[in-house]
Amino acid sequence: MIVKLNDHASPAAKSAILETLARQDYSTRRVSLPFGDFIVGLGDGAGDTTALAALEGVAWARRGAERAVLAGIDASTSRTEVPLGRTSIGGAALAVIAGPCSVEDRDQISTCARFVAAYGATALRGGAFKPRSSPYAFQGLGHEALEMLAEAGKNTGLPVVTEVMEPGEVEPMAPLVDCFQIGARSMQNFPLLREVGRAGKPVLLKRGPSSTMKEFLLSAEYVLLEGNPHVILCERGIKTFETATRNTLDLNAVPVLKAQTHLPVVVDPSHGTGRRDAVIPMARAAVAAGADGLIVEVHPDPARALSDGDQSLTLAQFRTLVEEIRPVAEAVGRRVEATPVPNFGEPRSSGRRRGTGWGAGD
């Protein structure tokens, strides 16, 4: 049960609401969000909204068991903008989060960061803890990778987004992370959702490969219930019968979610397709559909990537992506804020030799 308080609900009115919820067999919690103060009844209570709505200080009372209420479109009178670095996600400017699937070494992440920053990224992504289907596959460099990612972010001025897989890692990771990514496979790891909710940092929540939009929003609700409104929903493709692509990017999710929630929605055309050649077209389509931003995998030498090379853009292709989404954004009343640095140099497209690093020049 979710009770929204009026702006000037008195302490006596709040006590009466708490007592009424307790009488209906709920345990209670106060939740304060930028768009309102709420008293929430948790558990299997009586569900009598009429008794609650009649109380002084109550704007409305809704049952929450079946749907996301705090994340719901009418919980807030305005769309939530999630602050991230110098920009925010959910306003007129599109977020462009770019970087490798995994942080592989200092040279790889710093090169990637320099180029994506110069070409127009607004945030840097990179995995340190990787959820791999096979336990034998590269699992990420862990804390060492986080340090490298944070350093690359600091040197380029880009905030960093990285996946957290375990509730116990949230606190140790927090000082090095600007936004916690919850991976698709973890979308329904409820203890993890609560923990990132409490950390108070922005959360990029990926849609589970077999999750409905309703389940997706209910997962976001877990984070909001901890008093953290800064959730970015990410459509990253769902499982279908199709095998030509790794997943089926469900662009329906963009308008449908936006009709149901005030939270920003971004799209991941990399995991959504699994194919480099489909990433830029689907990025353009996502922007046209009204996405608030993109998260894309970029690697200085995709052929040698330790994870997700087939879907990673080269540095030069990332520059093309930014150029190509710009007119699409303008056509739908949005903008790509960052201006690529002119003559930044061409990345070496491939053929990294050990020890020589990647760089501009040829």
Q: Measure CA of the first residue to CA of the last residue in the chain; give whole Å.
A: 61
Q: What is the DSSP letter of 189?
A: -
Site size toward Mn ion (CB under 5 A) is 2
Exactly one of 81, 231, 308, 317 binds Mn ion (CB under 5 A); which one? 308
Measured from the CB of residue 236, what is the shortest distance to ligand PEP in angstroms?
4
Exactly one of 4, 206, 230, 299 binds ligand PEP (CB under 6 A); that residue is 206
- Cβ proximity to ligand PEP: between 41 and 300 the closer is 300
The answer to whether residue 127 forms part of the interface with ligand PEP (CB under 6 A) is: yes
Residue among 290, 311, 309 nearest 301 (CA) = 309
Nearest-angstrom CA–CA distance, 162 and 178: 8
Give the C-alpha separation, 234 to 77, whole Å. Answer: 22
3-state secondary structure of 118: helix
Cα separation, 72 vs 213, in Å, equals: 12
Binding of ligand PEP at residue 183 (CB under 6 A)? yes
Site for ligand PEP in 219-238 (CB under 6 A): 236
**Considering CB distances under 5 to 8 angstroms, the limit depending on partner class, which of Mn ion, ligand PEP, none binds residue 236?**
ligand PEP
Pairwise CA distance, residues 216 & 100, whole Å: 25
Do the strands 179-182 and 265-267 form a parallel or antiparallel pair, or are they unpaired?
A: unpaired
Interactions with ligand PEP, residue window 240-279 (CB under 6 A): 271
Nearest residue to the partner ligand PEP, using Cβ = 183
- State which residue, 58 or 101, has the beta carbon closest to ligand PEP: 101
Q: Which two tokens stand for residue 201?
A: 């940092």
- Does position 101 bind ligand PEP by CB under 6 A? yes
User: What gap in Å lies between CA 348 and CA 362, rounded to an integer?
Assistant: 6
Binding flag, residue 101, Mn ion (CB under 5 A):
yes
Q: 10 Å Cβ neighbour count for 78?
A: 9
Compare residues 114 and 125 and give the one whose CB is closer to Mn ion: 125
CB-closest chain residue to Mn ion: 101
Residue from 184, 283, 296, 315 binding ligand PEP (CB under 6 A)? 184
Report the nearest approach of ligand PEP to the CB of residue 131 (Å): 6
Looking at the Cβ atoms of 271 and 299, the one nearer to ligand PEP is: 271
C-beta atoms surrounding 86 within 10 Å: 12
Residues at the contact surface with Mn ion, assessed by CB under 5 A: 101, 308
